Structure 1
Amino acid sequence: MKKLCLFAILAITFSCKNNKETSEKEALNHTSNANPNIIILYVDDLGYGDLSCYGATGVKTPNIDKLATNGVKFTDAHSATATCTPSRYAMLTGNYAFRRKAAVLKGDAPLIISTEQPTLPKMLKKAGYKTAVIGKWHLGLGDGNVDWNTTVKPGPAEIGFDYSFLLPSTGDRVPSVYMENGNILNLSQDDPIEVSYTEKIGNRPTGYENPELRRQIADDQHNKTIINGISRIGWMKGGKSAEWVDEDFPYKLTEKANNFIKNNKKQPFFLYYAFHDIHVPRLPHKNFQGKTSMGPRGDAILQVDYVVGEIVKSLEAEGIANNTMIIFTSDNGPVLNDGYEDDAVEKLGNHKPAGIYRGGKYSVYEAGTRVPTIVHWPEKVTPKVSDALMNQVDFYSSFAALTNQTPETTILDSKNYLDALLGKTDSGRQEVILEGYTLALRQGNWKYIKPSNNKGTWITEEKKIESGLTPQEQLFDLSKDPSEQNNLAEQYPDKVEELKNKLQEIEHLSK
């Protein structure tokens, strides 16, 4: 009888061990064979010429260069618009931002994406993905009457993100606090937060009243409540316990990203990592300060490169690098002085943030939307340089194809260019709308810019960027004139009419 009992115990133990090993093998098999993990590394205000793999000489970006060397590096890939909120809207919804009249939002703006509409994270959740957004949000929160001292919603959770760790708006706007899953981190109940974009509240120092307390000179717009020595857009009362330290962003945000990777490595995940860098205020951590000759802007680019390296290290440490697609790109083109003076102009040297292209952030010219774009997926993409015309609005339908899904009928603008993303073809879009306070239509190498009565003088005078806004129609042949110096509208009236009609046709697509 004792022998029978011993045999039964051994059999049960052996069976449990086998079951455990089988479970672990199944989990490993799922990790290696299921849909790939998808990571979008979304840098802010990074220009086409800001990386060494895109020709920069004033700064070296070895970690990003390694992605490019072993992936697909695009030469003609675009954000949907030349500013941040609209580009994020288009990427996450698959529809052009002008359809929602999306514009750069205040820090207390309501959520710009309807909780009813399809989104990229919602679609991937249907395919079994865990989803997360970490970093700069700037898509609005709440319903327009936010109580920052409670769980704020609607927000990322309501549009498909399982986990969120946010800068609620962006670095130059209040509230200057971290928000995790809808709640402000480390907020003391004894010091509740209030935010105003219309009038001063509370007794915090402001840039216009206490300029001696600022670490950087700011323009009138960025000259309100001072936090961490930087005056911001808007006024903030309370919340001392929850204030962020800008210099900690690369470490704090990356820690959260790597924790998400580690905790979800046994199932497919989607991570949207939205950098604050190299947006103003530029306050690199001391580990990067003075490491380039270009001042804080150059040092911030190094900081971006460091973060990319840390994300890749995490994937390798967890054994999932080969089954992870990384897309590295930017929300719009470059800007030097954008509200703060930090020697970006004075220390630029021979560096060309936009490369050979005209314009920059806010501009409808090429430099406004033509941004560095790299796709890295070991063993799945063949390293190459691709001239395919690409746009971030197409991530939605391309990822739908990757995960065997069909986009909803309300997705008007996103198209499937998965083969181009993976480097299987150099055939990208034939036509695409680009936006920068007016609309432009690219058709191959032809570019038509819609005339505008908005002269955009603040762009040219304050930002020192050519806006591309004129009351005359503009037409460029980018194959011969990539820097958009010669307006051919008078020489090719038939082409102008053709592209104008096509633009109007796309504009008026109905939902």
Structure 2
Amino acid sequence: MKTSRKRISWMICGVILIGLHSLVLAAVQPPNIIVFLTDDQGYNDVGCFGSPNIKTPNFDRMAAEGMLFTSAYVGSPVCGPSRSSLMTGSYPIRIAEPGNKKALHTIPHTKELMIPEVLKQAGYATAILGKWHAGDAKTKGHPLDQGFDYFFGTPKFNGVTKLIEESKVRAPLIRNREVVVKAIEQKEMDQLTTWYTEEAIQFITKNKEQPFFLYLAHNMPHVPLGVSDKFRGKSEGGFYGDVIEELDWSMGEILKTLKQLNLDGNTLIVFVSDNGPWIETGVIDDHAGHAEPLRGAKMKSWEGGPRVPCIMRWPGKIPAGKTSDAIVTTMDLLPTFAALAGEKLPADLIIDGKDILPLITGETDQSPHEYYYYYCYTDLQAVRDARWKLVLPRPAKPEWMNWWARMIDEVKTIELYDLESDVGETVNVAAQHPEIVERLKKQIESARIELGDAGTIGSGARFFDNGKKRPGIAKYKKWKAKQSAK
């Protein structure tokens, strides 16, 4: 049967229209988003951040092709609260928890709005590969109940000891809701980075035709450490260096996949650690990372705890090779991603993160944050502005913090540090700048009213359940009364 010229014309027009429609969709399609999160990686554990003996060519390439942030912070200097903060855009003390509790190790209420829920509403495919630890993945708070389409990883950490055989804790490995490894042992630990990377490549490839959000939350380098044979014994930075260099390989595989699939120019990648390195003499030793030139480490409010390595890359959108010292936080990811996806957050939702798109695209070099607050669990210990950091007095190892008190050191008097000239917090200049001390003390009080503190319920803290707010606060008040009586 012959086809009429008119029909052929319509067919040609149809093909042209379909092509134009595809071009329009490509032009308006929001970017793919990848958050590459490492666990307990120190500020100094990346080549471009100064590591002398750990080679990270792929992280370094990200910095050369994107923006490196030297004042990037997490919401808390410890794993679970930090991850909960990232997901919700809020300081952990603001986040609602089941039963109106405020645990030292935050467990978000299932009604908390999280990044994948926002992006899923915008049409994104969503996946988490790696460690969750922002809810109870075995019961309520499973990633699949918080907006993720796919989950392959562990619900939380796999122990707190240097060697896995010393640990009483064994995390399961879960695919969606099915337990595939009941208790991870060393042989599985050694393969986690490889497995997550392979899964990431599969997810990216499967979803190359639609916007996707990949939360690649590696278990490494949280102890107990694991590394595959292809990297074991290869780094000048020892076993810990082997682990970091395998993570760098993982980033390289992601970058290679994006290039091969022609997704590179429409993908924002954020590389960041969840907190500083776990440095505890006699416990972790040579299996820990490095925070130099920063003071302190994980579980501390000195800079080495919440200040982390961070690089963002988005070819053609983020200026290449630029370094920013503006304050940014992982809490900023939620509002920034929502803006990129064209989604408005609920008008009544108060969060602490800011949309930093103007900063990362080079429209401004100014941070939207006037202040950053250093919470150690629920304890408000310090505040900083663009230049100055005020540290409040505190006792060492306070009993009310239970196991987590082990890393808290004493501060006898108010301390002030000029972070522009003394990022290592070595010289207390409080006596020379009383007016700055008073200004920052007032800001501490403002945060205490809004967010709360160990003994204070903040007016802006969220509570979704009926009943008493923060019932456990009585323990702190009892301890505080005992201290005052001494």
Q: What TM-score, normalized by structure 2, do the two folds share?
A: 0.80
Q: Residue 396 in 1 paired to residue 334 in 2?
A: yes
Task: Tell me by how many angstroms 1:395 deviates.
Answer: 1.3
Q: Does 1:382 align with 2:319?
A: yes
Partner of 1:367: 304
Structure 1's 333 and 360: CA in aligned 2 closer, same or farther, altered over 3 A? same
> Alpha-carbon deviation of 1:42?
0.6
Of the three residues 123, 127, 136, the one matched with 2:122 is 127
Q: Kindly tell me: are residues 496 and 251 of structure 1, through their superposed partners in 2, closer, same or farther at Cα, counting changes over 3 Å?
A: same
2: CA distance, partners of 1:163 / 1:21:
36
Question: Contact 2:67 / 2:360 at 8 angstroms: preserved in 1?
Answer: yes
2:254 is matched with 311
Kept after mapping to 1: 8 A contact 2:374/2:383: yes
Distance in structure 2 (CA, Å) of the matches to 1:463 and 1:46: 21
Change (3 A) 1:71 1:137: same
Query: Which segments of 5 or more consecutive residues in structure 2 lack a partner in the other structure?
Result: 96-101, 161-168, 451-458, 461-486
Match of 1:217 in 2: none
Contact 1:451-1:473 within 8 A present in 2 as well? yes
Equivalent residue number for residue 60 of structure 1: 55
**CA distance, structure 2, for counterparts of residue 462 and residue 126 of structure 1:** 37
Distance 1:228-1:116 versus aligned 2 partners, 3 A rule = closer
Deviations 1:125-160 (A, max 9, x none): 222222111101112326xxx5xxxxx544112211
In 1, the alpha carbon distance for the partners of 2:172 and 2:82 equals 23
Question: Equivalents in 2 of 1:338, 1:56: separation in Å?
Answer: 21
What SS does the corresponding residue of 1:371 show, helix, strand or coil? strand
C-alpha contact (below 8 Å) 1:368/1:436 kept by paired residues: no
Distance 1:250 1:492, change over 3 A: same
- Aligned partner letter, 1:436: C
Tell me how far apart the structure 2 counterparts of residues 338 and 129 of structure 1 sit (CA, whole Å).
44
The separation in 2 between residues aligned to 1:179 and 1:338, in whole angstroms, is 33
CA drift of 1:293 comes to: 2.7
Within the alignment, does 1:263 sit opposite 2:206 as a pair? yes
- 1:32 deviates by 5.3
* Whole-angstrom CA distance in 2 between matches of 1:256 and 1:24: 32
Write the distance in 2 (CA, Å) between the matches of 1:462 and 1:319.
46
Residues 109-508 of structure 1 mapped to structure 2, 5 A cutoff:
112-141=107-136, 152-172=139-159, 174-185=169-180, 228=185, 245-336=188-279, 343-344=286-287, 353-383=290-320, 384-408=322-346, 409-428=348-367, 429-437=369-377, 438-439=379-380, 440-455=382-397, 467=408, 469-508=410-449
Report deviation, 1:496.
Answer: 2.2
Contact 1:90 1:96 in 2 (8 A): yes
Kindly state the Cα deviation for residue 468 of structure 1 after the two structures are TM-superposed: 5.3
Aligned residue type for 1:415:
K
Deviations 1:170-211 (A, max 9, x none): 23274433212222126xxxxxx6xxxxxxxxxxxxxxxxxx
Contact 1:49 / 1:355 at 8 angstroms: preserved in 2? yes
| Contact 1:89 1:102 (C-alpha < 8 Å) held by counterparts | no
Percent of aligned positions with the same letter in both sequences? Answer: 36
Unpaired runs of 5+ residues, structure 1, are 106-111, 147-151, 187-192, 194-225, 230-243, 346-351
Distance 1:60 1:32, change over 3 A: farther
> Retained in 2: the 8 A contact 1:84–1:331?
yes
Q: How many residues align?
A: 432
CA distance in structure 2 between the aligned counterparts of 1:455 and 1:263, rounded to whole angstroms: 49
Deviation at 1:37, TM superposition (A): 0.6
Map of 2:44 onto structure 1: 49
- Measure, in 2, the Cα distance between the counterparts of 1:369 and 1:60: 23
1:103 aligns with 2:104: yes
CA distance in 1, matches of 2:157, 2:282: 13
CA contact (8 A) 2:66 2:314 kept: yes
> Within 2, Cα distance between the matches of 1:373 and 1:80?
14
Match of 1:348 in 2: none
Contact 2:299/2:404 (8 A) holds in 1: no
Q: Which amino acid aligns with 2:355?
A: N
| Contact kept in structure 2, 1:334 and 1:353, CA below 8 Å | yes
Q: Distance in 2 between matches of 1:29 and 1:475?
A: 54
Q: How far did 1:227 drift?
A: 5.5
Q: Deviations over 1:295-318 (max 9, x none)?
A: 221101101100000111111121
C-alpha deviation, 1:401, in angstroms: 2.5
Instruction: Give, in whole Å, the separation in 2 of the partners of 1:155 and 1:140.
Output: 7
Q: 1:30 to 1:163 in 2, by over 3 A?
A: farther
In the alignment, the residues of structure 2 paired with residue 116 and residue 371 of structure 1 have an alpha-carbon distance, to the nearest angstrom, of 29
Quote the offset at 1:21 in angstroms: 8.9
Relative distance call for 1:455 and 1:493 in structure 2 (3 A) is farther
Q: TM-score, normalised by structure 1?
A: 0.76
1:57-83 Cα shifts (integer Å, max 9, x gaps): 211100110000010111111112111
Alignment of 1:90 onto 2:32: no
Per the TM alignment, residue 368 of structure 1 is displaced from its structure 2 partner at its CA by 0.8
Larger mean CA deviation between 311-320 and 30-39 belongs to 30-39
Distance 1:497 1:256, change over 3 A: same
Rounded to whole Å, the distance in 1 between the matches of 2:405 and 2:112 is 35
Q: Residues 398 and 405 of structure 2 are in contact (CA less than 8 Å); yes or no, is this contact kept in structure 1?
A: no
Question: Would you say the 8 A contact 2:276–2:298 is kept in 1?
Answer: yes
Q: SS at 2:307's partner residue?
A: coil
Compared CA separation, residues 464 and 96, structure 1 to 2 (3 A):
closer
Q: Measure, in 2, the Cα distance between the counterparts of 1:138 and 1:260.
A: 21
Distance 1:248 1:28, change over 3 A: farther
Contact 2:39 2:221 (8 Å CA) reproduced = yes
Q: CA deviation at 1:340?
A: 5.8
Q: Closer, same or farther in 2 for the Cα pair 1:339/1:130, shift >3 Å?
A: farther
Structure 2 counterpart of 1:114, which letter?
H
The CA distance in 2 between the partners of 1:79 and 1:338, in whole Å, is: 24
Q: For 1:205-264, what per-residue CA distance to the aligned partner results, in whole angstroms no more than 9, with x for missing partners? A: xxxxxxxxxxxxxxxxxxxxx9535xxxxxxxxxxxxxx711111221111111111111
Is the Cα–Cα contact under 8 Å of residues 272 and 310 in structure 2 kept in the other structure? yes
Distance 2:63 2:39 in 1: 19
Partner SS state of residue 430, structure 2: coil
- Cα distance change on mapping 1:29 and 1:353 into 2, 3 Å: farther
Change beyond 3 A, Cα 1:445–1:66: same
